[in-house]
Amino acid sequence: MKKITFLSVLMSLSLLIGCSKDEEGFNPETPPKEETPTETPEETPQGFILQPEEARSYMVDAAATDETVALFYNLKTLSDSHFVVGQQDAFSAFYNDIAGDSDMKKTTGSDPGMLGSDFMFITDDQNDGSSNNWFYQQESGIRNNAIKAYNNGMLNIFCWHFREPFEGNSFYTSEMTEFQKGNAFKSILPGGENHEYYKEKLQKVAEIAKGLIGQDGSLSPLIFRPFHEFDKDFFWWGAPYSTPEEFKTVWRFTVEYLRDELNVHNILYAFSPDNSYTTEAGYLERYPGDEYVDIVGMDNYGDLASQDGARLNLANQKLKVVSDIAIEKVKIAALSETGYFVTPSSSTLPPNFYSKNLYNVLTDSDVQVGFMMFWQNYSDSYTVPTPGMPGESDFLNFVEKEETYLLNDMPSMYSIQ
């Protein structure tokens, strides 16, 4: 029987300080040797403008709900000149544990435009669906916050820190056996030892997606980015543990099972590696195909971390690769995770981190992204400053830029005007 101790839960919570654990110390890595991709994006005509009636033809799900189509169209159109600013767990994680309004609202007067959530506890083996079960209580809170976000006009995005399928204890390879690391991902392939187990977890994902019903009676669209940061080695779905074709096979199965077998039609699918890539060829090595991806993103912490900003141009160029692919393929580009973790007792925020460093990464070189997301705040550290904390005035300068959209700035994203 798969078992997990409460201590391991607490360890998982403490470890989720941004996903790029190999970059927590912000030591830049040399990008790996990049191979030629199996497909080359077809260029769209110069000056191409997506029309509302064309949106479905560029989406993963031609049967998507009207609200999901509107979200795709609006994010794609908005990215020409603006980007939505989001934060992970904005309604449930607070600096200094001061609950109430989101930390972003405490500082700016507005909630973020996007709420980040996680399927981790929802799909945990110990979630038995009973009201007194800790994991089910987390599920209920996450579901309620996502519905609240939709009702308020915010966007919902879900990652998935999926525990490995043999023991169900961890998603970090540093806590796994060599057997688990070498076989976990392969075991969820169609025909694999844990494929049926994986299908059960996807059934839970589908249950949540189909239960996000807003006060208007409609399903909230959600952005789902499975297997994020797959280019690195710290998660069991990382590149060292599968071939590109195996990764593509699992990705395609995931989409087809949710869409075609479980009839989930309110999801946009986001492909989001970490920051290893510097070329289009490298970025597309594990890309499963245009018909399986709505959003192309990149997580990047390490390139923005140095005090002297030595890698900011590189960060911008990496995001430019993503932006160019999105333009060519008529997808949405995103900086799907980022942030600088400020621990007032031990770390110093680089000067003008938000209004210059991050802003320039997001806007230089004609980069076009539909959204960017800060990782969550913690009791002892933050990526979004609260009132009186270092970086507050600089963050206010950032969100006052013309391109940035918090909730108070956003048009309706779930209808096409």
Per-residue model confidence as pLDDT tens digits over 350-377:
999 999 999 999 999 999 999 999 999 9
CA angle, corner 128, sides to 178 and 21, nearest 5?
Answer: 40
Q: Does 12 fall in a domain?
A: no
Catalytic residue among 67, 164, 285, 337: 337
Catalytic residue among 229, 246, 261, 402: 229
Worst-scoring range by mean pLDDT, 17-31, 168-182, 388-402?
A: 17-31
Q: What is the SS3 assignment for 90-143? A: CCCCCHHHCCCCCHHHHHHCCCCCEEEEECCCCCCCCCCCCCCCHHHHHHHHHH
Q: Does 30 fall in a domain?
A: no
Scan for tokens 């393929």, then name that residue.
Answer: 329
Q: Is 196 a catalytic residue?
A: no
- Structure confidence at residue 18 (pLDDT): 58
Here the CATH number for the domain that contains residue 147 is: 3.20.20.80
Count of the separate structural domains present in the chain: 1
What number is the average pLDDT over the span 204-213? 98
Q: Does 255 fall in a domain?
A: yes
Give the range of the structural domain holding residue 75, as residue numbers without chain letter. 42-409
- Structure confidence at residue 23 (pLDDT): 43
pLDDT of 412 > 60? The answer is yes
Q: Does 113 fall in a domain?
A: yes
Q: Does 24 fall in a domain?
A: no
Distances (CA, A) of 51 to 54, 77, 89, 416: 5, 9, 33, 10
- Structure confidence at residue 345 (pLDDT): 86
Q: What is the pLDDT of residues 73-129, one digit of tens each?
A: 999 999 999 999 999 999 999 999 999 999 999 999 999 999 999 999 999 999 999
Q: Does 22 fall in a domain?
A: no
Q: Is 229 a catalytic residue?
A: yes
pTM of the predicted protein model:
0.91
With residues binned 3-state (H G I as helix, E B as strand, rest as coil), the percentages for the chain, rounded to 5, are 40, 10, 50
What number is the average pLDDT over the span 393-401? 98
Helices (H) and strands (E) in the chain, counts: 11, 9
Q: Does 10 fall in a domain?
A: no
Worst-scoring range by mean pLDDT, 17-21, 124-128, 333-337, 379-383?
A: 17-21
Q: Does 21 fall in a domain?
A: no
pLDDT of 26 > 60? The answer is no
- Structure confidence at residue 344 (pLDDT): 87
- Structure confidence at residue 209 (pLDDT): 98
Question: Widest CA span of the chain, in angstroms?
Answer: 57
